[in-house]
């Protein structure tokens, strides 16, 4: 096969190669895991280790924010019955600084509220028309239709992504929303001199080692640091935080949910390759394609599986299994074939035996549900009409799923 053919994506189901998925409940030596204790003591750590070592990379140290500061709060928002907070998460170490700015909208109540937490792609000011929201100063990807010039956000971007964030619905249902621009933790470019990585370099080091974290690892780390703050906020019920992410940020949300069990619910929106899509299916985006286009997302060890998926010691259903027994929701879009909707569904299906070990119901059928027929067990799934995006329909299902698990209704 020539290099070009190797890079071509397959969209034909009949050309999906036959493959053998690793059984999430069979230990590397062949022993069957028969109970939760064995899963938690042996198989889960072994699985997590493989993802750290071969896919996302491990964090080579213990790194927490050094301070949190509320920089702004107010009731003058475009939303009914909502308050706004903007919180700076600051990391200071060895003369270096990393600042992440969290935007929160919370329903106005004296109760602690559950929260959806998700990173955003172009800055907090893009998710809302609210003129009080601060414009990010971090490096952003140029996007001419948002007026971004020289990788710098400006006023023109305000509100350009409101369609992806159903803020009023979230508030009306009694939830808060917390969001941070993902590039605050690591700008999305193949450059390891910026973002959080240098904070853990040894003397003379200028990039992570082959088994150390890439950008997805940095974004997942940032989600955990956001949760550290939420645990201190008296208005938030931090035992009820649903981490949600779209696309590359959906991959990061899954990895955050796998590595940090404090996340009570995990939601993957169109996360695709390196998210919930099974790598072995090689449908749409593949390991080779993603490593070529985004060499900074995964750890370098992951490139060993370019065009070599059958040798992966794990597959993405085991990433979902790492979230068990906590509720996980996987969403696909019909026209998002690049992300392989069937592969996204199947990872939930094949992870379900770990949920069953806990006596929880996952996705019992190997057949995908029809469009707009959500399944809401401990593993949830829907496929909606339309493209790669986050829509009001998606949010309505996430709110229903959260209601089911957080409020029993």
Nearer to ligand GTR, 177 or 290 (CB): 290
Nearer to ligand GTR, 6 or 35 (CB): 6
Taking the complex as a whole, the smallest distance from the CB of residue 277 to ligand GTR amounts, in Å, to: 9
164 binds ligand GTR (CB under 6 A): no
Angle at 114 between CA 233 and CA 84, to 5 degrees: 55
266 binds ligand GTR (CB under 6 A): no
Contact (Cβ atoms closer than 8 angstroms) between residue 267 and residue 331: yes
Angle at 118 between CA 183 and CA 72, to 5 degrees: 75
For residue 106, which phi and psi values (nearest 5 degrees)? Answer: -125, 145
DSSP E strands: which ranges in 108-257? Answer: 113-120, 176-181, 236-246
Point out which span in 44-52, 98-106, 260-268, 285-293 binds ligand GTR (CB under 6 A): 285-293
Q: Which residues of 199-225 are buried (b: 16+ CB within 10 A; e: fewer)?
A: ebbeeeeebbeebbbbbbbbbbbbbbb
Nearer to ligand GTR, 272 or 380 (CB): 272
Nearer to ligand GTR, 149 or 293 (CB): 293
215 binds ligand GTR (CB under 6 A): no
Strand partners, 32: 26
Which one of 273, 319, 320, 379 is in contact with ligand GTR (CB under 6 A)?
273
196 binds ligand GTR (CB under 6 A): no
Annotated catalytic residues are 247, 388
Q: How far apart are CA 318 and CA 28, in angstroms?
A: 13
333 binds ligand GTR (CB under 6 A): no
88 binds ligand GTR (CB under 6 A): no
Nearer to ligand GTR, 272 or 348 (CB): 272
Taking the complex as a whole, the smallest distance from the CB of residue 246 to ligand GTR amounts, in Å, to: 7
Interface map 225-264 toward ligand GTR (x if CB under 6 A): ----------------------xx----------------
Contact (Cβ atoms closer than 8 angstroms) between residue 256 and residue 220: yes
Q: How far apart are CA 286 and CA 367, in angstroms?
A: 23
Strand partners, 113: 236
331 binds ligand GTR (CB under 6 A): no
Give the binding-site size for ligand GTR (rule: CB under 6 A): 7
Contact (Cβ atoms closer than 8 angstroms) between residue 124 and residue 180: yes
53 binds ligand GTR (CB under 6 A): no
Binding site for ligand GTR (CB under 6 A): 247-248, 272-273, 285, 290, 293
């Amino acid at each position: 096969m020539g290099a070009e053919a190797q890079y071509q994506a397959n969209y034909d189901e009949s050309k999906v190669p036959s493959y053998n998925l690793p059984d999430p409940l069979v230990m590397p030596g062949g022993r069957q895991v028969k109970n939760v204790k064995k899963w938690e003591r042996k198989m889960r750590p072994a699985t997590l280790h493989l993802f750290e070592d071969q896919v996302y990379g491990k964090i080579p140290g213990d790194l927490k924010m050094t301070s949190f500061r509320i920089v702004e709060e107010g009731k003058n928002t475009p939303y009914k019955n909502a308050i706004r907070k903007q919180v700076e998460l600051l990391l200071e170490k060895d003369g270096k600084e990393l600042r992440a700015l969290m935007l929160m909208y919370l329903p106005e109540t004296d109760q602690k509220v559950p929260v959806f937490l998700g990173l955003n792609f172009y800055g907090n000011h893009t998710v809302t028309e609210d003129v009080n929201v601060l414009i990010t100063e971090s490096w952003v990807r140029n996007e001419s239709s948002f007026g971004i010039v020289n990788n710098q956000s400006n006023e023109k971007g305000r509100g350009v992504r409101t369609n992806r964030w159903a803020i009023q619905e979230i508030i009306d249902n009694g939830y808060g929303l917390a969001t941070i621009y993902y590039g605050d933790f690591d700008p999305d470019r193949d450059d390891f001199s910026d973002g959080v990585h240098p904070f853990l370099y040894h003397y003379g080091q200028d990039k992570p080692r082959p088994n150390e974290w890439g950008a997805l690892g940095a974004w997942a780390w940032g989600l955990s640091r956001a949760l550290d703050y939420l645990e201190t906020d008296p208005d938030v019920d931090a035992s009820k935080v649903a981490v949600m992410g779209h696309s590359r940020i959906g991959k990061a949300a899954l990895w955050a949910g796998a590595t940090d069990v404090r996340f009570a619910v995990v939601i993957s929106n169109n996360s695709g390759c390196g998210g919930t899509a099974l790598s072995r299916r090689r449908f749409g985006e593949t390991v080779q394609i993603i490593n070529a286009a985004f060499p900074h997302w995964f750890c370098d060890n992951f490139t060993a599986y370019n065009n070599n998926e059958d040798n992966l010691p794990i597959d993405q259903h085991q990433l979902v299994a790492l979230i068990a027994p906590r509720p996980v929701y996987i969403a696909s879009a019909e026209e998002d074939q690049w992300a392989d909707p069937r592969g996204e569904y199947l990872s939930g299906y094949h992870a379900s035996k770990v949920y069953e070990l806990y006596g929880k119901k996952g996705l019992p059928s190997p057949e995908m549900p029809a469009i707009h027929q959500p399944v809401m067990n401990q593993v949830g799934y829907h496929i909606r009409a339309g493209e790669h995006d986050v829509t009001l329909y998606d949010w309505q299902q996430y709110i229903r799923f959260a209601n089911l698990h957080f409020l029993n209704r």
